[in-house]
Each structure stands twice: as C-alpha cells, then as structure tokens.
Amino acid sequence: MAIGPASVSASAEEVDTGRLEDASPRRILLIVLAIVAATEIVPFHYTFISMAVRLIGPDFPSAGSQLAWLNTLYALVGGVAVPVAGKLSDMVGKKRVILVCLLLSMVGSALDALTHSWTALLVGRALQGLAFPVLVISYGLIRDLVPRRMVPVAIAVAGGGTGMGAVLGPIAGGALTDHYSWRSLFWFCTLYTGVTGLLMLLLVPESKLRVRSRLDYLGTLLLGSGVGLVLIYLSRGSDWGWGQGATLAWLIGGLVLLVLFYAWETRTPEPIMSPVLLRSPRLVSLLVWAFLLNICTQGLSYLLGYLAEGPGGATGDALKQQVAAGAAQQAAQQSGAPLASLQQYFSVQGDLPGLNLTLFQFTVRILLVMSVLYVVVAPLTGWSATRFGLRLPAAACAFFFGLGSLLLYYFHGSVLQLALCALPLGVGAGIFLGTVPNMLIEAVPQEQQGASAGMYGVFSSFGSATATAVAAAVMATHPLVLHVGLPGHESNTELKSGALAQLSTEAAYTRLFLIFAGVALVGLVVGLLMRQYRKPATGGLHS
C-alpha cells in the first residue's frame, strides 16, 4: 500500500535511501552536475521546436495549420507522463525511470531527425515529451543521495541549472540553423541525450528507496485522460474557439475524468496519488502558488519573445504599408478604378510593437543576463531557506514577477528597456527555481516524493498552458485591422492571414502585462499565507 504522510512508519532519518553521507564534496558535485545536465534536454526540446517550426513547415506541406501540434503534443505527453513516471520512480527506482525516459526521448529525437513522414514526426515529438518527467524526478533523486545538510542548496543548484538550457538553447540552435538544416537540432538532442544519459549511468548511483505498491491502472487512465483533455483545450482553444461546443467538450470531459479520478483514489487501496497528500495544506498551498507562478513565468517569457522578435518601428510600418497597398491593388483590379486614386483610402490600424531582434540577438542581449541571475540567485535561495524558511522566498518570487510585469507595462520600447525590465524577472525566476523543488521536499515524506512531483508536474503544465491560452486570447481580441475609408463603403476587417496575421497591437501587450502583474499579486498573498514553510528548510528531515 502507498504510504501517506499520516502513516509513515519510520522517520525520514531511518529510511535507507543510499544517502552518500561520507562522500567527498567533489563526488557530490559531480553527481549533482550529471543530474542537472540530463535535465537540460527539456528546455532544449522547447526552444528548438519553436525555432524549427518555420523551417519544418516547407518540408511537410501537407501539415498546414497542424504544425502547432508539434508543441501541443510535447506538452500533452509530458503532462500525462509526469504523474505516472513519478509513481513508478517511487516503486522501481528514480535513476532507472530517468534513464528509460531519456532513452525513449533519444529515440524520438533520432526519429524526427531522419523521418520524411509527418505522422512519424509527430510520433517522435511525442516520444521527446517523455523526457519531461526527468525534471521533477531528479529532485527526488538528489534528495535521496545528497547528504542531508547539503540538500536545500543542491536542490536549488539543480533548479537554477535547468534555467540555463532556456538560454543555451537559442545560442546552440541559432548556430546550428545558420549552417545546417532543422534536422541538425534533432541530431543535437539525440547526441546530447545520449552523452548525458551515459554520464548519469556511470556517475550517479541509484536510490535505494522503494515503495511496495502496484500501479493503479484505472487511476492512471483517468488521470492521464483527464489531464490530456484539459491540456488540449488550453493549447488549442484559441484556434478552435474557446466557447464552441465541440471545444468545450474537451474541457468538460477532462474535468469530469479528473473528478472521477479523485473519487477513485479515495477508494482504491493503492492509489497513484494518495488522497492524504491531495488534502495536505502544505502541498496544496504549494501547488496553488506554483500554478500561479508558472502562469507568470510562461506568460512573461512568451511576451518577451514576441516583443523582442516582433517587426516594430520602421519595419512594422513598412509591413503595414505593404498590406494596405496590396489591398488597394486588389480593389483596383476588381473595380477597374485607378490604383493611385484608391491607395489613400486603405490603411492598417493599430500600433505594432517589436524590436526586430533575431532569436540569437534576443538571447545574447536580454536572456544571457537573466541566466546569470538564475545561476546565482537559485543556490542563494536554497542557502537562505536553511536559515529563514521558504515562505519569504515564495513571497519575494511573486513580488519580483509583479514588479517586472509593471515595469514592462510602462517600458518596453527599446532593447535597453526590455533588458532592464527583465532583471527583476530573472531574480524572480531564480528564486522560483530554488524554491519549488525545496518546497516539494519539505512537503512530503521520501516515500511519496515521486508521486508529489507528479502532482506538481500536472499543475505546472496547467499553469504553462493557461498562460499561453490567456496570451493567445487577449492577442486575438487586439488584432491589426485593415481600414477602408472609401466614401460610402467604410469598413474595418481584422487581418487573419498574411504577414501581419499573428501580430497584435500595443494594447494587447499592455493588458497582458497588467494581467500577469495581477496573477503575481495573488501569488504574493498566497506566499505570505504559507504558514507551513516558515521554519528553516531541513532537506526533508521533518516531512
């Protein structure tokens, strides 16, 4: 039977996890670095596919608008796999599950590098999504192996290290796509996964912790299906129409399955997620806070990228004039009127923000400084947690995200402004990466580490998908508009195709920055109310 917090028969100190109390600092460092290196593949997967979509499209003309499934499928499979892989890691070993996930992911990357079939490309992308559980399971593995006194800082280092992949990805990807085809990105993932997986195999011992349990197949099916349906709604709702009956069916069906999952978990003797954990104030407050802060991290990252790479200024004005001239030319052909007499009546309405940076320039000029903050702030957060607890870092994290959002509301018209406003976001992200894994460790006993990580993975996926959905919805309500001022025939038409179809006006960005500032404010309140995290972090000693 799965062990809940109320039924742990031995204290955390008495559980033999294979902790390396007598290992040298050098060996501990190598183990942590090997684990962190393996987790970096996840941000590479996210970054590379965002870079590759525009290059992949011409090679798969039959895909059309279905290219978005390359991102949706990864998030979907990853979100469903996390709770299942987390539970399995408690049962059969964390290192073993991580290596299997990496192997399947490597197969998926190789398949995408080789295939000329759209279906096979999607299959490979789905297999890549199986790497996502590596992120959350790695925290439990560090908890089991690292000397107790070093756990909070080691966990924070691991959290901050994963942020580096988000910055190194565009640098590596930009260099590869400048000289080779999009397939080189998948070959890079294949080789990187193979090398880091080998390092894991050779350098990292397996945790001895095992939970005697059987996999809850019905619970797994209900949870996976429920999470999958909700993620599909959040990921594709902007394209299908949020309020359409067929679209809402995905959301309603997913929520019904999740309710059935909870009801089943309260009755089955060996649940995949203990109902005791699902009702634990310490874990629930963490999941709510993490959901809110994931909305901020994903949403602000989304907006920063659009602002940095968007065609603003003179480039944007030229695009608007080009679209207006094309519409005037089409009207002239249809009416037979002289083009010169019509051009004055056609214009594109709406301020178009953007800094015209390439992805590589965006990374070097803005994200690189943020990555330094990740690496510095995350371990400092872990160190401070051992003295002052995790409640204040949780509140500080939300504060910095809110501050960055408000600054961006007022200042986002130049590279310097964007870089300076991104600094508090970098501090907030570093605190987040150093706080969340430590909260997970403090919230639950070691016997439930994998299952609780699975819960966090689900809420993290929901938060990221919600942020993207909110951003897409607001941007869709603030499109650029083709204005026709012909006397007696005045009209406004939203631009839904062509060069400006995916771009939104200035008002969309300012509104979204205020929304994310509001979400951060709620996260600040939740953080301040976390009474369970006021005491110094112990590395899970008193979980």
Top pLDDT among 45 and 18 is at 45
**Which of the residue ranges 4-13, 74-83, 154-163 would you say has the lowest mean pLDDT?**
4-13
- In this structure, what token pair is assigned to residue 182? 């999009």
What type of residue is 456?
A: Y
Indicate if 273-313+349-543 has the same CATH topology as 17-215: yes
540 pLDDT band, cuts 50/70/90, is low
* Bridge partners, residue 492, by sequence: 483
Q: CB of 147 within 8 A of CB of 13? A: no
> For the CA atoms of the chain, what is the radius of gyration?
24
Q: For 263-279, write each residue's pLDDT tens digit.
A: 898 888 877 777 777 77
pLDDT, mean over the chain = 83
Residue 111 pLDDT exceeds 50: yes
> Would you call 504 helix, strand, or coil by DSSP?
strand
Q: For 145-159, write each residue's pLDDT tens digit.
A: 888 888 888 878 777
Cα–Cα dist 138/152, whole Å: 14
Q: CB of 290 within 8 A of CB of 436? A: yes
Residue 189 pLDDT exceeds 90: yes
234 pLDDT band, cuts 50/70/90, is confident
Q: What is the mean pLDDT of residues 240-263?
A: 89
Q: Which percentage of the chain shows pLDDT scores above 70?
A: 91
User: Which of 194, 182, 208, 174 has its CA nearest to residue 93?
Assistant: 208
Residue 411 pLDDT exceeds 80: yes
Q: CB of 158 within 8 A of CB of 36? A: yes
Q: Which percentage of the chain shows pLDDT scores above 90?
A: 23
Q: CB of 271 within 8 A of CB of 91? A: no
Provide the sign of the torsion angle of the four alpha carbons 386, 392, 396, 398, taken in this order: positive
Tell the burial category of 497 from Cβ atoms under 10 Å away from its Cβ (0-12, 13-18, 19+): exposed
- pLDDT, position 109: 94
Residue partners of 497: CB distance under 8 A and separation at least 6? none
- In this structure, what token pair is assigned to residue 22? 């007598």
12 pLDDT band, cuts 50/70/90, is very low
- pLDDT, position 6: 37
Q: For 346-393, write each residue's pLDDT tens digit.
A: 888 888 888 888 777 887 888 778 878 887 888 888 888 888 888 999
Cα–Cα dist 450/91, whole Å: 9
Q: CA-based diameter of the chain, in Å?
A: 88
- pLDDT, position 352: 83
- pLDDT, position 198: 96
2 pLDDT band, cuts 50/70/90, is very low
Top pLDDT among 102 and 235 is at 102
Residue 232 pLDDT exceeds 80: yes
- pLDDT, position 537: 78
Residue 485 pLDDT exceeds 60: yes
- pLDDT, position 310: 81
CATH, domain range 273-313+349-543 = 1.20.1250.20
Domain ranges of the chain: 17-215, 221-268, 273-313+349-543
**Structural class in CATH, domain 17-215:** mainly alpha
Top pLDDT among 491 and 119 is at 119
Top pLDDT among 234 and 256 is at 256
386-425: burial string, b at 16+ Cβ within 10 Å, e else: beebbbbbbbbbbbbbbbbbbbbbeebeeeebbbbbbbbb
13 pLDDT band, cuts 50/70/90, is very low
- pLDDT, position 354: 85
Residue 69 pLDDT exceeds 90: no
Query: Residue 119 belongs to what H/E stretch?
Result: helix 118-128
Residue 517 pLDDT exceeds 90: yes
The interaxial angle of helices 391-410 and 368-388, nearest 10 deg, is 150
**Which of the residue ranges 85-99, 233-247, 529-543 would you say has the lowest mean pLDDT?**
529-543
Cα–Cα dist 127/110, whole Å: 10
Cα–Cα dist 268/175, whole Å: 52
Q: CB of 272 within 8 A of CB of 219? A: yes
Tell the burial category of 29 from Cβ atoms under 10 Å away from its Cβ (0-12, 13-18, 19+): middle
